[in-house]
Amino acid sequence: MRKIFYNYILKFIFYLFLKPIVLSNRFFHYKTKNLVIINLNKIGDTILSFPAINVILKQYSDYCIKIITYHNNIALFEKYFSPSQEIIPIERKDFYWKNRIAKRKIRRLLMRLKPNLIIDFTGSFETATMFFNLRAKEVMGFNYVYFKVLYTKFIPREDTSHLMDKYFKVIDEKLIDNIDIKSFPIKINSELPIIIHPFAGWEAKEWEFKKFIKLYELLSVSYNCKFIIENTKRYFKHMDIFISKNITFDITNNQFDLINSIDNSSVFIGNDSGLAHIASMLGKPTFVVYGPTNPYFHKPYSDKSDFVIKILPCSPKENKKYCHTFGGRKGCKSFECMLQLSVEEVIEKVLKFLKKNNIKQISL
């Protein structure tokens, strides 16, 4: 009840403060055909927005369209979209207060672009502070309810469907059930190795590393496999294991390396992470190990994707994005959903997945 009360108070305060500014800006709006898409998401959410951005590029082909994103996502946009599409990179340091409030530099950037239409595909405090004083005629997007006053088409943030759906709710809700538009083209080369990525954005989403090693050993009897590992201190401790067991692996130094390594694989096997969505974007079949997150909210949108999850009483409910510990980040001490998932359960499903996708076995 207290949280609901505070939300109403915040909504009222923001309304009183922002409504006069918004009305004035709409009245004196820019007389341009400039469209700005703001996409300040992490890897997975960034990629899940791409099909909706494709629709925007077609529907607003007579507009000058620019996309603002974080610098470390540039490789994703350059890989997927035409080289002629202008992408404007910004940095996290361009925001105050733990990346929540846009600095004047960012607001000036948007003012120079003079957008008649803004599409907000981030929906956060940071994006609201980017454009609250802009003279855009229309602002479409999703966000917290107390920022509703900023939008001409507002979609409340909600966690009741697949993560891709929220982008289509902004531009055209009728497209949510259009599988062809939402899916990435499949490009399978069964001659290439299977790539395994044993890490994720946070610890609770990671199946045990030793189990991934065992999975590799079982698969490599019949298939060409390799691990992919980012060149960061967090992962260096695993290098000795790879070397001692004569395990094949790629080291990547940046997002361009990641994309290139995954692109040169037949299928992707790993945890619920941004790399699974990179693989999906590149047309690779994906097999994902889930635990504290709901696969029906997070899985790559493809009929060539599959997953395994250990269902426990504490697993995410059907209509929930995470388990009750916020995906294992608040109060989960033992990550039982990952600990109780055996190698035998995973290998059984993986072998069926590889056979279904006609992945070539090693000639003995």
Tell me the per-residue pLDDT of 71-89, one tens digit each, with 9 for 90 and over.
999 999 999 999 999 999 9
What is the residue-averaged pLDDT of the chain? 91
Q: pLDDT per residue over 126-152, tens digit each?
A: 999 999 888 999 999 999 888 888 999
Mean pLDDT value across residues 156-172: 90
Return the pLDDT at 4.
54
Return the pLDDT at 319.
87
Q: Percent of the chain having pLDDT more than 90?
A: 75
Return the pLDDT at 325.
94
Distance CA 267, CA 188 (A): 8
Return the pLDDT at 14.
64
Mean pLDDT value across residues 269-287: 97
Q: Per-domain residue ranges for the chain?
A: 2-182, 194-356
Q: Which of 271, 306, 276, 270 is nearest to 292 (CA)?
A: 271
Return the pLDDT at 307.
97
- What is the homologous superfamily of the domain 2-182 according to CATH? Glycogen Phosphorylase B; (3.40.50.2000)
Work out the pLDDT band at 333, boundaries 50, 70, 90: confident
C-alpha distances in Å from residue 97, one per residue of 56, 105, 130, 144, 203: 32, 15, 14, 18, 26
Return the pLDDT at 12.
61
Mean pLDDT value across residues 336-363: 95
Q: Same CATH topology for 2-182 and 194-356?
A: yes
Return the pLDDT at 29.
86
38 strand-pairing partners = 68, 120
Lowest mean pLDDT among 2-6, 103-107, 163-167, 212-216: 2-6
Work out the pLDDT band at 92, boundaries 50, 70, 90: very high
Mean pLDDT value across residues 86-106: 92
pTM of the model: 0.92
Mean pLDDT value across residues 270-286: 96
Q: pLDDT per residue over 2-61, tens digit each?
A: 555 555 565 566 667 677 777 777 767 889 999 999 999 999 999 999 999 999 999 999
Convert the chain into a string of H (helix), E (strand) and C (coil).
CHHHHHHHHHHHHHHHHHHHHHHHHHHCCCCCCEEEEEECCCHHHHHHCHHHHHHHHHHCCCCEEEEEEEHHHHHHHHHHCCCCCEEEEECHHHEECCCCEECHHHHHHHHHHCCCEEEECCCCHHHHHHHCCCCCCEEEEEECHHHHHHCCEEEECCCCCCCCHHHHHHHCHHHHHCHHHHCCCCCCCCCCCEEEECCCCCHHHCCCHHHHHHHHHHHCCCCCEEEEEECCHHHHCCHHHHHHCCCCEEEECCHHHHHHHHHCCCCEEEECCHHHHHHHHCCCCEEEEECCECHHHHCCCCCCEEEEECCCCCCCCCCCCECCCCCCCCCCCCCHHHHCCCHHHHHHHHHHHHHHCCCCCCCC
Return the pLDDT at 7.
56
Q: pLDDT per residue over 178-221, tens digit each?
A: 888 999 999 999 999 999 999 999 999 999 999 999 999 999 99
Q: Does domain 194-356 have CATH number 3.40.50.2000?
A: yes
Residue 199 — φ and ψ, nearest 5°?
A: -120, 175
